[in-house]
A and B are shown apart, each in its own frame.
Chain A
Amino acid sequence: MPNASKRKIRETAAKFAFLIAACTSVAAVVMICLFLFVNGIPAMGKIGVFRFLLGQTWRPANDQFGIFPMIVGSLCVTFGAVLIGVPTGVLCAVFLVFFCPKKLYKVLKPAVDLLAGIPSIVYGFFGLMVIVPAMQALFGGSGKSLLTASLLLGIMILPTVVSVSEAALRAVPESCLEGALALGATREQSVFFAVLPAAKSGILAGAVLGIGRAMGEAMAVSIVAGNQAIIPESILSGVRTLTANIVLEMGYAADLHREALIATAVVLFVFILLINLLLNLVKRRDKP
């Protein structure tokens, strides 16, 4: 039975290789968690949890580490990005699935996918060269603002929203659309009032993934947001997000300043965890 034993060895080897691959990603997550919490939690303790989370002044040189403006900034920018990106993305997915001629689809789909592959620094410079001057012309001021950052992030989350929504729409049984058409609804009515609600939780999952992407984006945002560490007064004031705070100051930070930045990453990490939790909830509701 040399053949059978050979196969067994091969199978065990393959299993082992898969196990290692699985362990690698788990190990990476565990190590990142450890790094963040071991370095970040003591810093929060030193600064004082409430003074850190709710403090409104960020002046590292003065040992004032309040990240409340950045928390507000991250939430505002993410909210703005979702406001711009999700409706656009969902409508784009509806078009791709139900109204797009086949020839156009062959161009549009790869174009949307390509959007996902553009490095964020390129988005950032695009924002700085194109969106910022446009905003200056439209609203005056410096052109770097909450609105600019939201707009850019709205574009950046498009591919995520579009592809997840598209998959969700395609997963809706054909009979749903046909049934609505048979009852005398127009194609538009059928799509928007029968198919779209049926794909609700899939589309919601896309939106939540988009939120995660918007929340975690650093490079592009730090180029177009202005990065003032103050709570934005209007959508035209500059804003600093948690990610931008880290990316801006990591290079020169030392001692407690550096630890405070890692603690900022802990806060961001908790936000991302919450978003993932939300995603799981959305998905679970879909099951039964």
Chain B
Amino acid sequence: MRKQRKTPAALLPILLFFALAACGKPADTITVISREQGSGTRAAFAELAGITETAADGDTLDTITEYAEITNSTAVMLQSVAVDKNAIGYVSLGSLNGTVKAVAIDGIAPTAENIQKGRYAITRSFLLVTLGEPSLLAQDFLSFLLSAEGQAVVQDAGYIPVDPQGGYAGGGMEGKLVISGSSSVAPVMEKLKEAYQTHNPSAEIEIHASDSTTGIRTVLEGVCDIGMTSRPPTDSELAEGLSPVTIATDGIVVIVNRENPVSNLTKAQLRAIFTGQITSWAQLTSNTKR
């Protein structure tokens, strides 16, 4: 019987806990969703949208509000924005789909054409890294990627090509090449591999998609030949003898829920939202009117 009397007393704090929770926030509080610290997408987004400050030691830091939700996955980012009518986030142009709405920045829509012509500014580079003197096959593969033909594949995949360095004259290469790294770069890499193998059917190429750091580390440890990264290598990584090559440019698109009437944001508004100065959509519209 002793137990019976105890139970209601134990439940009281729990009920209080839930009751406290019931006092919610305004209905149109913006849900800011960001990628994690260290992500190439985040670094590029923050820098190009001007959400950065310079630290005492000269490093650039982003000032994205600490109240922003964080995810490390493009799929979760897209789904979160698709189900939350107050959400705002950002993804790579290549992974944009119809479940969310892309927002124009300063009146310029994030299309491949606008990016290539330099009108849309929020972009980043896809890089490949090698260590020391790469194998003949690796060199040949890299020269294919940078050729007019390789860059045409990049363009077809929805990314923005870099200036091609002549045509590809090679072919008939043999051997095995292991490529590993960023899952943002891997899809376009698969397509480049297929195109390369039509010229070099005996060349065996393995692509492992993980993340930028893994790609760079495995190259440094000699486990793979080429690393894919969507962030620039750090100074300490470059000091270990890495040589980076840019193979494509990717746009970063700001996305909102499809029910959201907002279709254009100024850079200043974007900055205010992501630094937490504007916290509701109503505030945003009243600011615009002024």
Contacts and interface: CB of A to CB of B under 8 A. Distances in A.
A125 B73 CA distance: 12
Contacts of A235: 17-18, 20-21
Output the residue of A58, A144, A229, A238 with the most chain B CB within 10 A.
Answer: A144
Interface string B117-144: 0000000000000000000000000000
A272 interface: no
A136 B83 contact: yes
Q: What interface size band does chain A fall in?
A: 35 or more
A222 to B, nearest CB: 7
Contact of A228 (B40, B69, B214, B236): B69
Contacts, number: 125
B29 interface: yes
Contacts of B83: 128-129, 132-133, 136, 143
Contact of B55 (A60, A62, A222): A62
Q: What interface size band does chain B fall in?
A: 35 or more
A109 interface: no
Given A62-B55, A144-B80, A251-B211, A236 B69 contact: no
Contacts of B84: 132, 136, 142-143
Contacts of A247: 72
A226 interface: yes
B237 A234 contact: no
Given A83-B14, A128-B80, A143-B84, A61 B59 contact: yes
A143 B3 CA distance: 36
Given A252-B211, A254-B213, A61 B61 contact: yes
Given A144-B80, A252-B211, A59 B37 contact: yes
B76 interface: yes
A252 B73 CA distance: 12
Contact of B231 (A147, A238, A252, A255): A252
B62 interface: yes
Contacts of A254: 38, 213, 216, 234, 236-237
Output the residue of B55, B84, B86 with the most chain A CB within 10 A.
Answer: B84
Nearest to A140: B24
A234 B80 CA distance: 21
Interface in A123-181: 125, 128-129, 132-133, 136, 139-144, 147
Contacts of A144: 69, 80
A223 interface: yes
A58 B234 CA distance: 20
A227 B21 contact: no
B66 A229 contact: yes
B39 interface: yes
Interface in A211-234: 222-223, 226-230, 234
Output the residue of B3, B38, B61, B76 with the most chain A CB within 10 A.
Answer: B38
Given A61-B61, A61-B62, A228 B67 contact: yes
Contact of A252 (B18, B66, B212): B212
Given A142-B31, A228-B68, A240-B70, A193 B76 contact: no
A11 interface: no
Given A139-B21, A142-B86, A252 B234 contact: no
A240 B72 CA distance: 13
B66 to A, nearest CB: 5
Contact of A248 (B17, B20, B70): B70
B62 A193 contact: no
A48 B216 CA distance: 28
B105 to A, nearest CB: 23
A141 B31 contact: yes
Interface string B230-251: 0100101100000000000000
Contacts of B37: 58-61, 249, 252, 257
Interface string B92-123: 00000000000000000000000000000000
A147 B24 CA distance: 13
Given A142-B84, A142-B87, A61 B38 contact: yes
Contacts of A139: 21-22, 24
Contacts of B36: 227, 248-249, 251-252
A142 B87 CA distance: 8
B79 interface: yes
Given A234-B20, A248-B70, 4 more contacts: A62-B55, A128-B83, A140-B24, A228-B70
Interface of A: 58-62, 83, 125, 128-129, 132-133, 136, 139-144, 147, 193, 197, 222-223, 226-230, 234-236, 238, 240, 247-255, 257-258
29 contacts: A58-B37, A61-B61, A61-B62, A62-B59, A128-B76, A132-B80, A142-B69, A142-B84, A144-B69, A222-B71, A226-B70, A227-B70, A235-B20, A236-B21, A236-B24, A238-B69, A247-B72, A248-B71, A251-B36, A251-B38, A251-B214, A252-B213, A252-B231, A253-B38, A254-B234, A254-B236, A257-B37, A257-B38, A258-B213
Interface of B: 1, 3, 14, 17-18, 20-22, 24-25, 27, 29, 31, 36-40, 55, 59, 61-62, 66-73, 76, 79-80, 83-84, 86-87, 210-214, 216, 231, 234, 236-237
